[in-house]
Chain A
Amino acid sequence: MKETLFMGKITATATHELKNVLAIIRESGGLMQDFLDMVNDGSFKYKEKFGGILSKVEDQVRRGDEISTQLNRFAHTPDSDFTSENVPEVIDQVIALTQRIARSREVSFVNRPHQSMLTLTCEPVKLRMLLFQSMELLMKNAKRGERIEIRSRLNENKKTFIEFCMESDSGRNQSLDDLETSGEWKELVATAGAINSKAGLSSDSGILTLELVNMDYK
């Protein structure tokens, strides 16, 4: 736990510095755009080209800002052993931070919560680990171009359900056969068990389900 806290602290500090870097890049680009806007007599033939480049700089600042914000929140995860989390927000965070892996495997994730506020009391690091393990397992077994929907909801017994639904480009569900015997699946089940939760696979419909319960930490 000490090690996790250490990693989190250093990462959080670095993301704070990244914010300053991004702020300076944004202001530099912004100032160049200000100067560019002053030229209105057609005397600068590259005005449009420069404007396009500056707009790309601004887009990348926004992208970097989003990643660094999510990374900062992630880095603060080990600050508490138990905490109340908004599940759709945590899913957004894990999706944002694993975008690169998903892109390299040509897979995309879509967060489709049943309700925008879905509170769960849990161990925050393990919840993220469980989500990541689920996503990684599905990414490894997904077809190219696969779109995976992550649906979260609360049932009548106050249990939180997260369903990862694989739908291939053709519209047919991808089979999850053979996954249940893999070492990765066993690890995922163990992580779920560590937070009193369950993981299940429905191979026919291509759905991986996590059933999560509020942990009592008093």
Chain B
Amino acid sequence: MNVKVLIVDDEENFVELLAERLESRGFHVTKAFNGSDAVSITTAGDVDVVLLDVMMPGKDGIATLQEIKQIKPLTEAIMLTGHGTVETGIAGMKLGAYDYIMKPADIESLQKKLIDACKRKKEQENRIKQAEVDKIVSARGW
């Protein structure tokens, strides 16, 4: 599955290393080191899943998630949490995030969550396309 991932975290070393590991596993990775850049990248490009750190200086994970969901509602998000921020990860899920994962994350679990999140996005897109086709068919009386 061709999954386009955007990693957002202010810990640049972490982002670079994780990006390389995910790329070697076939993911297409884009990087952002703050919430504002993440919103711009998502708006401009084609991102399936945003891996979003909860605690960032400036625009935090929740505010970033809210903006992304407003602009691209079908884009999935997985919240990256530390131990003190699990509640925020859960709050993110209430705002539409697919899931959350604790740092330091296990690569296999992360990989699975990213693929599952992407599958949900594709299914949702397909359902919308099908609904549009059904609408046209019904309007034309075919």
Interface residues of A (CB under 8 A from B): 12, 15-16, 19-20, 22-28, 30-31, 34, 61, 65, 68-69, 72-73, 76
Partner of A31, one of B11, B20, B84, B103: B20
Question: Which of A26, A27, A73, A76 counts the most B-chain CB atoms under 10 A from its CB?
Answer: A27
**Could you tell me if A19 and B17 are in contact, using CB atoms closer than 8 angstroms?**
no
- Contacts A15-B83, A76-B84 hold; do A22 and B103 have CB atoms under 8 A apart? yes
Bound Cα distance A15, B102 (Å): 13
Question: From B15, which residue of chain A is reached at the shortest CB distance?
Answer: A27
**Could you tell me if B84 and A23 are in contact, using CB atoms closer than 8 angstroms?**
no
Bound Cα distance A28, B55 (Å): 21
Partner of B14, one of A27, A69, A76: A27
**Could you tell me if B82 and A16 are in contact, using CB atoms closer than 8 angstroms?**
yes
Question: Which of A15, A22, A23, A68 counts the most B-chain CB atoms under 10 A from its CB?
Answer: A23
Partner of B83, one of A19, A30, A34: A19
**Residues of B contacting A31 in the complex (Cβ-Cβ under 8 angstroms):** 17, 20-21
Q: How far is the CB of B87 from chain A (nearest CB, A)?
A: 11
Interface residues of B in 4-29 (CB under 8 A from A): 11, 13-14, 17-18, 20-21, 24
Q: How far is the CB of B27 from chain A (nearest CB, A)?
A: 13
Total residues of chain B contacting the partner, CB 8 A? 17
**Could you tell me if B11 and A68 are in contact, using CB atoms closer than 8 angstroms?**
no
Interface of B is mostly: helix
**Residues of A contacting B104 in the complex (Cβ-Cβ under 8 angstroms):** 19, 22-23, 25-27, 61, 65
Bound Cα distance A134, B85 (Å): 32
Interface residues of B in 55-101 (CB under 8 A from A): 55, 82-85
Bound Cα distance A16, B83 (Å): 7
**Could you tell me if A24 and B11 are in contact, using CB atoms closer than 8 angstroms?**
yes
Interface of A is mostly: helix
Q: Per-residue 0/1 for B24-47: is the Cβ within 8 Å of any A Cβ (1 yes, 0 no)? A: 100000000000000000000000
**Residues of A contacting B83 in the complex (Cβ-Cβ under 8 angstroms):** 15-16, 19, 68-69, 72-73
Question: From B16, which residue of chain A is reached at the shortest CB distance?
Answer: A27
**Could you tell me if B55 and A16 are in contact, using CB atoms closer than 8 angstroms?**
yes
Q: How far is the CB of A80 from chain B (nearest CB, A)?
A: 14
**Could you tell me if B84 and A34 are in contact, using CB atoms closer than 8 angstroms?**
no
Given A23-B103, A26-B104, 15 more pairs with CB closer than 8 A? A15-B84, A16-B83, A20-B11, A20-B14, A23-B104, A23-B105, A24-B13, A24-B17, A25-B104, A27-B18, A27-B21, A31-B20, A34-B21, A34-B24, A72-B82
Does B107 belong to the interface (CB within 8 Å)? yes
Question: Which of B11, B17, B55, B82 counts the most A-chain CB atoms under 10 A from its CB?
Answer: B82
Bound Cα distance A72, B21 (Å): 28
Question: From A22, which residue of chain B is reached at the shortest CB distance?
Answer: B104
Bound Cα distance A61, B107 (Å): 14
- Contacts A20-B14, A23-B11, A23-B105 hold; do A30 and B21 have CB atoms under 8 A apart? yes
Bound Cα distance A30, B23 (Å): 13
Bound Cα distance A15, B103 (Å): 12
Q: How far is the CB of A93 from chain B (nearest CB, A)?
A: 12
Bound Cα distance A73, B83 (Å): 8
